[in-house]
């Protein structure tokens, strides 16, 4: 991986993160595509997904702006690594222990109020606008991308250059749009035969993946601390 061009590495990192976080957890966009795709077909579902992918990519781009100057300080890098460990562990446990597909949080309440206000003003009737607004109103998506982008930069997967950041953002769009394309196709062919039990299993698996990632992150932090103490 060390010989990989920084921009290609950044694009691949964005692609992988997008695939993981678009497919897990079973969020409002996935549920909207599952419900509306079954009723209105593939074309309607994919436009919801495209709207969501565009807004996801915008939030990712926003999260990269302004992060650069923070990484001039080593302690900020370390702090972000600890924060991402806590964030991933918290989310992982929440999804692994979930009893229902929809996990409600205070952030969801705020997001739903924002979404209702935006929809009142915009009167979105198109599939693209539906996907775009649902992600725009979801504050958790922005928080997740701020943590993710900081984590990618702190681990040097994304260099502090516009080329690398642009590559990562492009990878995020391809990964997110790719997942929603797959989901739209699957639901239009399967006529929405996704039971609550299947979705809950997917959510539990998502939680397990996040916990494994958090443990890996924690092990890296511990190794750095041990090495620093040894020196």
Q: Is residue 215 part of a domain?
A: yes
Q: Is residue 11 part of a domain?
A: yes
How far is it, in rounded angstroms, from Cα 180 to Cα 176? 6
Closest CA to 103 of 120, 90, 84, 119: 90
Q: Is residue 79 part of a domain?
A: yes
Q: Is residue 159 part of a domain?
A: yes
Q: Is residue 1 part of a domain?
A: no
**DSSP string of 86-148, one letter each residue:** HHHHHHHHHHHT-SSSPPP-HHHHHHHHHHHHHHHHH---SHHHHHHHHHHT-HHHHHHHHHH
Most confident of 56-60, 99-103, 202-206: 56-60
Q: Is residue 143 part of a domain?
A: yes
Domain tally, the chain: 1
Of 198 and 195, more confident: 198
The reported pLDDT for the residue numbered 220 is: 77
Q: Is residue 209 part of a domain?
A: yes
The reported pLDDT for the residue numbered 148 is: 83
Q: Is residue 167 part of a domain?
A: yes
Confidence at 21, pLDDT banded by 50, 70, 90: confident
Q: Global pTM?
A: 0.74
Closest CA to 207 of 99, 121, 115, 51: 99
Domain containing residue 174: 6-230
């Amino acid at each position: 991986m060390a010989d990989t061009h920084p921009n290609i590495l950044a694009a691949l990192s964005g692609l992988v993160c997008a695939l993981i976080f678009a497919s897990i957890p079973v969020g409002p966009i996935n549920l909207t595509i599952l419900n509306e795709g079954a009723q209105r077909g593939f074309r309607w579902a994919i436009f919801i997904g495209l709207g969501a992918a565009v807004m996801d990519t915008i939030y990712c781009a926003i999260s990269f702006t302004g992060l650069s100057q923070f990484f001039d300080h080593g302690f900020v890098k370390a702090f972000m690594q600890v924060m991402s460990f806590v964030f991933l562990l918290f989310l992982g446990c929440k999804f692994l222990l979930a009893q229902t597909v929809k996990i409600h949080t205070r952030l969801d309440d705020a997001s739903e109020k924002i979404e209702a206000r935006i929809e009142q003003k915009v009167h979105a009737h198109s599939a693209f606008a539906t996907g775009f607004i649902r992600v725009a109103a979801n504050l958790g998506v922005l928080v997740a991308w701020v943590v993710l982008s900081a984590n990618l930069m702190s681990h040097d997967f994304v260099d502090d250059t516009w080329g690398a950041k642009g590559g990562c953002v492009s990878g995020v769009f391809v990964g997110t749009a790719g997942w929603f394309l797959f989901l739209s196709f699957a639901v239009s062919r399967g006529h929405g035969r996704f039971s609550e039990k299947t979705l809950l299993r997917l959510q539990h698996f998502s939680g397990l993946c996040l916990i494994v990632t958090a443990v890996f992150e924690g092990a890296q932090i511990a190794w750095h601390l041990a090495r620093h103490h040894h020196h």
